[in-house]
Structure 1
Amino acid sequence: MSLTALVVDDEPIARRAIVRLLDADTEIEVLGECGDGGSAVEAIRNQSPDLVFLDIQMPAMTGLDVIAAIGAQRMPATVFVTAYEQYAVRAFEANAVDYLVKPFSRERFATTLQRAKSRLSAAGDAQARILQALESLRQRDEYLERIAVRVDEHVIFVAVDDIVWIKANRNTVQIHLADRVHELRETMAALAARLDPRRFARVHRSAIVNVQRVRTIHPWFNGHHVVTMDNGQQLRMSRYQHEAFLRLVGSRRED
C-alpha cells in the first residue's frame, strides 16, 4: 500500500522529525510540510494527501481551524500532534485516528503510523471520527479568564488580560504583569493549553506574550526580532515565530 502524507507543525524541529520518520517508510510519500494553518489548508486542497500529521496548537490558525476550513467530511485521515498532553487528550483517544504528544519516541510513532495505515486500508470511519473529535474538542475549548496565584498565605486572581507576558522556568512559570511578577507552579505547556491562542502567542520557546500588550516589533539579526511590550520590557522573538505572530495579529484586526 502506497500512501501520501503532509506534515503540519509550526515548529521546524518537530516537522523535520516527523518527515525523517516518514521518509524511512517505503510505503509513505511525503508530499510536503507546512509551518502554519493557512499553508496547510492550501496544501490539503491542492495535493489531497491520504494522511495529515496536524499540530493542534498553532498561532493564528489552529489545527481545529484547519479542519473547519477544509470541512471534516473532506479532511484526510488525521493524526493530531500536540505538545500539550493536558489539552483534550481524552477526545483524541476516543475519536481521532491517533495522536502524538511531543516529544514522542520512534516506537510510539511507528505504532501511530501503523494505526493510520490500518484505518486507511480498511476505508473505515476516519471522517466520522474527525467530526466527533472536532465536536468534542470544541466542547472542551474553554480558556482561562483568570488565574489563581498564591501570594504569601493568600490566593489572588489575576485576569488574563492583565498579563503582559509569561516566562517558562523549569516546572514553574513567571507571570509578568505591568508592575509585578507572580510565580505559578505549573509548566508552560500546561498553562499554554488553557490560554486562548487568539490572545496569547509564543514568541520564543520560553516566552508567551499577550498579543494586545505588544507595542512594537523590530528586526534584530539572523532573522530574529525584538518585541517591546507596553510596559517597556523587551523580548527576543524567534524567526520561526515572527510570520505566524504577524498573521495572528492581522486576523485579530479583521475580527
Structure 2
Amino acid sequence: MMGGGEAAEPSVLRVALADDEPLARSRLRALLAAEPHVELVSEAASGAEAVRGVLQSSPDVLLLDVEMPAGDGFEVLRALPPESLPVVVFVTAWQQHAVRAFEAQALDFLLKPYDKERFRAALARARQQVRLVRRGEAVARQEALLSGLALSEAPLRRLPVKVDGRIRFVDCSAISHVESEANYVRVHVGTEQHVLRETLTHLEERLDTRRFLRVHRSVLVNLDQVREAEPLSQGEYLLVLGSSGTAVRTGRSHRVRVEAALGLGSDSAR
C-alpha cells in the first residue's frame, strides 16, 4: 500500500479519525466519502481507541480531536512509536489548543465549526505531506513532532482567538486581564475583547504564572500591565491596568498574593 509513490496522485490516502462526538465523526466520515482516492481505515471515540486504530491500520493521515476520554490528542501522539506516526491534522472546537498543536508540529488545525472548503484545503495539504513521507523526505518533520510534544506544556506565549472566521494570535504580554463568564472567558487586550470557550482555571494553567495572577475568583491580571494600585477597605485594591486605564477590584481573600506579587507592604495599604 505504501509503495507506488511515482504517480502524480497517491493511489489511496489512508485516513484515520478520532473524535468522541458521534456527530463530529459522522460529518468527517461524510466529507471523506466525498473525496476521491481516500479510504477511512480507522475510527475512534477515545484516546485509547485512537492509539489502537493507528497501530492496527497504519493510516497516512490522522484527523485527531484534542478533548477525548481515555487520553487526549496529545497523549495519543506521545503513546505512538515514531515509526507509526501519521500526518496529523487536529480537529477541535477548543481554539486554545491551536498553539499547542502547532508547537507539536501538527500539519494543520481545523477549528469547529469548519466548512467543506476549509476541510478540503487541510486534506490537500495532508495529501502533499504524505507524498513527501512516501518519498522519505519528511523524516525530520516526524521527528520534530515528537520533540515538539515536550514543548506543548510550556506557558503560552501567544493566545489564539477567532476573529471574523480566522484565527488570530494575540501576544500574551498584551493581555491586560481575563474575566470569567461561566464556561467562557473574556480576554482584554487594550480596547479589544475576545470571548473564548474556556474556563478561567484551565486558561490560568496555560499562562505564565510569573506574569498572570488570580486577583479575584473571577479575574486574572497581567502583573506587567498594572499601572496603579489604590488601597481600599478590608484588604482590597483597585488596580488600574494598561493603556486603557481599566480598573479591576481585587478580592480580599487574594490580598496576600496580590501584595507579594506587586511588592505592596503594610505601609502601602494604608
Q: TM-score, normalised by structure 1?
A: 0.55
Q: Matches of 1:135 and 1:116 in 2, distance apart? A: 20
> Could you tell me which of 120, 130, 141 is aligned with 1:129?
141
Q: Which residue in 1 is equivalent to 2:61?
A: 51
Q: Which residue in 1 is equivalent to 2:197?
A: 188
Counterparts of 1:208-223 in structure 2, within 5 Å, are: none
CA contact (8 A) 1:73 1:128 kept: no
Matched residue type, 1:41: V
Q: Aligned-pair distance for 1:34? A: 0.5
Q: Aligned-pair distance for 1:3? A: 1.4
Q: Secondary structure of 2:20's partner?
A: coil
Matched residue type, 1:168: N
CA contact (8 A) 1:37 1:61 kept: yes
- Pairs aligned (count): 169
Q: Matches of 2:17 and 2:138 in 1, distance apart? A: 18
> Could you tell me which of 168, 178, 191 is aligned with 2:183?
168
Structure 1 15/62 Cα, relative in aligned 2: closer, same or farther at 3 Å? same
Q: Aligned-pair distance for 1:5? A: 0.9
Structure 1 94/60 Cα, relative in aligned 2: closer, same or farther at 3 Å? closer
Q: Secondary structure of 2:140's partner?
A: helix
Q: Matches of 1:15 and 1:192 in 2, distance apart? A: 29
CA contact (8 A) 1:8 1:33 kept: yes
Q: Aligned-pair distance for 1:84? A: 2.0
Q: Secondary structure of 1:86's partner?
A: helix
Q: Aligned-pair distance for 1:83? A: 1.8
Q: Secondary structure of 1:189's partner?
A: coil
Matched residue type, 2:41: L
Q: Matches of 1:129 and 1:190 in 2, distance apart? A: 33
> Could you tell me which of 70, 91, 108 is aligned with 1:60?
70
Q: Which residue in 2 is equivalent to 1:249?
A: none
Matched residue type, 1:34: A
CA contact (8 A) 1:9 1:55 kept: yes
Matched residue type, 2:106: A
Counterparts of 1:219-230 in structure 2, within 5 Å, are: none
Bigger-Rg structure (1/2): 2
Q: Matches of 1:68 and 1:39 in 2, distance apart? A: 14
Structure 1 64/91 Cα, relative in aligned 2: closer, same or farther at 3 Å? closer
Q: Aligned-pair distance for 1:120? A: 0.9
Please, which runs of 5 or more residues in structure 1 have no aligned partner? 145-154, 159-165, 173-184, 197-255
CA contact (8 A) 2:15 2:60 kept: yes
Identical-pair percentage = 36
Q: Is 1:119 aligned to residue 116 of structure 2?
A: no
> Could you tell me which of 66, 71, 85 is aligned with 2:95?
85
Matched residue type, 1:42: R
Q: Which residue in 2 is equivalent to 1:244?
A: none
Q: Is 1:8 aligned to residue 18 of structure 2?
A: yes
Q: Which residue in 1 is equivalent to 2:150?
A: 138
Matched residue type, 1:128: A
> Could you tell me which of 71, 94, 99 is aligned with 2:81?
71
Q: TM-score, normalised by structure 2?
A: 0.52
